[in-house]
Structure 1
Amino acid sequence: MRVGVIGGGSWGTALARELANKNIDTKIYIRNKDQYETMKEYHINKRYLADVILPESLKLTNDLDECILDKDFLILAVPTSSVRSLMENLSGKISKDVILVNVAKGIEVKTLKRISEIVSEFFPENKFVALSGPTHAEEVAIDFPSTIVAASENLEAAEKTQNLFMSDTLRVYTNDDLLGVELAGALKNIIALANGILVGLGYGDNSRAALMTRGLAEITRLGKAMGAQEATFLGLTGVGDLIVTCTSEHSRNRTCGKYIGQGMKVEEAIEKVGMVVEGIKTTASTVELAKKYKVDMPIATALYEVIYEGADVKDIVTRLMSRSKKHEIDGYFRG
């Protein structure tokens, strides 16, 4: 079994380490030349996982073509905004038998396409798997017990991916609701951003619990409208990922939101985080999807106004609390 991991960020590095520790032939592509040289010399990803020593068996490369040569699996560990350009670079270079496993969580802004849809434009014959769940790289990389989901419209590909990553510290489940898994993974970042804003404002547990629960309600509404399975949003890639991203100090979306709540401008908050904050662009994509499918998403819409229109966060909170009365379950588990 030969695996190429494209992307030297925290998640790509953690997964590459996981595979190498299972004695799987794994090569990771690091685009940044300086980062590659540092990792090659010290076998540590100083920028993203500075406290984790990588196994000697993990192969490193700064050459994308070398990374993808003669592989059975390619793990796509790049930001959503980079997926299309990566597919263009890979076009005509890989066999239709290669299983493509994506680990990013987002929706393309201009097209409103999920990552599976982008990949399918270039590689319609390749089997695609989304690997998603409540799994911060910082904890997977130090072998804390974690769970994740391999989702695909092709059960065989999902099961092969399950077998690839399954270990005594990483438990992998399969799911055939690819649409739901991709949506849940992307949209929870919006709620995590909003939750971080509440943290930055100094609000307490009651406020954050309410936001997470009602956030899950509107994520589920959109998912159902688009054809996803309701149960998916109550699973690991739904409520599980929502909880970890909203509550963990490792969450870049929560952290970015906290800085915004503390009064930073959006651009300043993103710069201080120092990594891609997927929820920023996903908020714009989601608001457009909500319009397209005629779904009420008050939290996503309010966050959009904060991020893209400069709305005052305290005014937005007051407006959300002052919305008209309704039954809790309407449009959530019924209707």
Structure 2
Amino acid sequence: MQWLPLSEEESKTLTNQVVCYQQDQTNTTLYRTIHSKTQQILYALPYYLRLLEEEDCSEFLLFCYNTIDYYLTTYRIGRLSYIGYLTQVVRKRTKYFITQKRAMIAREKLIYASERYQNPQVYKEPELTAETASYTAFEGFLVSKMDSLPSLFNRLLHERKTSGKMPLPHLQRLKQELSAPVNRKRFLIVLSLAPQLANEYLLEDLAALLEVDAHLLNQYLNTANLLLEEKERCRKEFIATSNRHFRRLLEIEGDLQTEIDTAAIERLETLRDWTIRVYKAKVNQIRNMEFRLSHYQLGKLLHIPKGTIDSSVHYMKRVLRQYMDELSDNEYL
């Protein structure tokens, strides 16, 4: 956050660089320079302007990241400098960002904070009602099982063990990058978000990259995966509930075919419309479920701020994209 404010000379230099790039968009060195500076500005401006909290700035940068090229090419020199132009952009986009974040929070509350079904096999549906969607609250998990996760995380950070399996030649540079403690921590955070994938397919390779004991890494990923097992059980219960609603719809349609009483038909049609709405809502909830740990959940488990999780994921995506591309530029043509 110390990058702002820019001096008048720095602002003028940045503006001139953007204009030069617009005139010669083949200059990749200049592009990388102004792209990096734009990222820094988009990260620092919301907090500097008191539009967002500091912990939300990395998430806002990810929100705007794909549009940076658009800003670079559409800026027109005139009354506003480039930093002034970005200031106007940030003021407008933070409104959309806050709205989207509120909608996401509302969706997470719907999924995680609703009550869980108790004994669904013996649950008897009322005549004109159906079950309420339920999902286990994060606070309701047996967190005692997860107490060992921070200690395992710290052991992976500090304990080194040379593996007999050597990484592939093109991954040696990535291994050197991960030897730095801060990058090692970031990489472990990324692995923790979807532990079932790393533990099932890449365990030995990852252990060789990180120079850790494969059994220790396996224990850590299995512990993190406990929470996903709870999510999977909740997902199966959601599916079972949706199937009951679907069967109920079939029963209502059958009753409508045979019913002749007008009042009974109206009652069945009302029940059918209501059940259809509930069924569609449950199907949408199932489709929107993400089978991974959220940044908030992982931060709470590891006692790490959510902003640190966000920035670590953003940085490691860029590092992995840089070092894991096996083909040179010409081989794509």
TM-score, with structure 1 as normaliser: 0.23
In proportion to residue count, which structure has more helix? 2
The structure with the largest alpha-carbon Rg is: 2
Larger RCO (CA under 8 A, 6+ residues apart): 2
Pick the structure with more strand per residue: 1
With normalisation by structure 2, the TM-score equals 0.23
